[in-house]
């Protein structure tokens, strides 16, 4: 195994910021273009905050394809490789990414882009847990899911028949890890930004995001 293969890995899972196709639950509050702009800014913020993490391989796992110009620009700007997600649902796509990456890495962490409060230290805490021998590490979200999941080995039970997008995802995942007798730990809890009501948790979002919301509200009232 060469030096690159012996490194741990971070897999950033992203959907191309196409208006009407991304952050759809936020469209009522931000509009199609506004939701896509928000998503693009969260991708950029996530990549910016993990670029200073040392001694890991970072890849950007894309859907619907790696051909999106924005994602290609991100890959070039941050010097990371693009890979295509593969699978019928989120669970199968995650399982495929873990299985593929763990063939050549001792451990890997999957990271979403829905968490405006994500800090570099959160990712470093997860990396430290993997270096210290944990089988798994998770970053739980207050909505019941998780924004980060690191594994040293994988199991289909973590991804199949999972009610994605519900408040039970982390609880079920934790229970299944315990059934596997895995040694797992958690990082800091954070809020995800998926729904209009989630906007209230982030009063310090960039002004342009609040402006998007205000402009969209005015448009709705004028119709």
Identify the helix (H) or strand (E) that includes residue 164. none
Model confidence over 28-51: pLDDT tens digits? Answer: 988 999 899 999 999 998 999 999
The pLDDT of residue 222: 58
Nearest to 188 by CA among 105, 134, 129: 129
Q: How many other CB atoms are there within 10 angstroms of residue 197's CB atom?
A: 9
pTM over 0.85: yes
Name all domains of the chain by residue range, CATH numbers in brackets: 3-214 (3.90.550.10)
Work out the percent of the chain whose per-residue pLDDT is above 70: 90
Q: What is the mean pLDDT of the chain?
A: 90
Q: What integer is the mean pLDDT of 174-202? A: 94
């Amino acid at each position: 195994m060469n030096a690159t293969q012996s490194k741990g890995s971070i897999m950033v899972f992203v959907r191309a910021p196409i208006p009407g196709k991304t952050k759809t639950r936020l469209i009522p509050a931000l509009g199609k273009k506004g939701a896509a702009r928000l998503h693009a800014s969260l991708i950029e913020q996530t990549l910016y905050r993990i670029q200073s993490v040392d001694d890991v391989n970072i890849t950007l796992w894309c859907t619907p394809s790696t051909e999106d110009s924005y994602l290609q620009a991100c890959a070039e700007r941050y010097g990371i490789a693009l890979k295509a997600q593969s699978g019928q649902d989120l669970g199968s796509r995650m399982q495929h990414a873990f299985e593929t990456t763990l063939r050549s890495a001792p451990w890997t962490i999957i990271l979403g882009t829905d968490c405006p409060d994500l800090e570099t230290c959160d990712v470093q805490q997860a990396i430290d847990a993997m270096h210290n021998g944990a089988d798994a590490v998770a970053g739980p979200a207050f909505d019941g899911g998780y924004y980060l999941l690191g594994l040293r080995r994988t199991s289909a039970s973590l991804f199949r028949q999972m009610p994605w997008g519900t408040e039970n995802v982390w609880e079920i995942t934790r229970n299944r890890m315990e059934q596997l007798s895995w040694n797992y730990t958690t990082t800091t809890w954070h809020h995800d930004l998926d729904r209009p009501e989630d906007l209230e948790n982030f009063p310090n979002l960039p002004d342009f995001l609040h402006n998007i919301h205000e402009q969209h509200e005015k448009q709705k009232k004028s119709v």
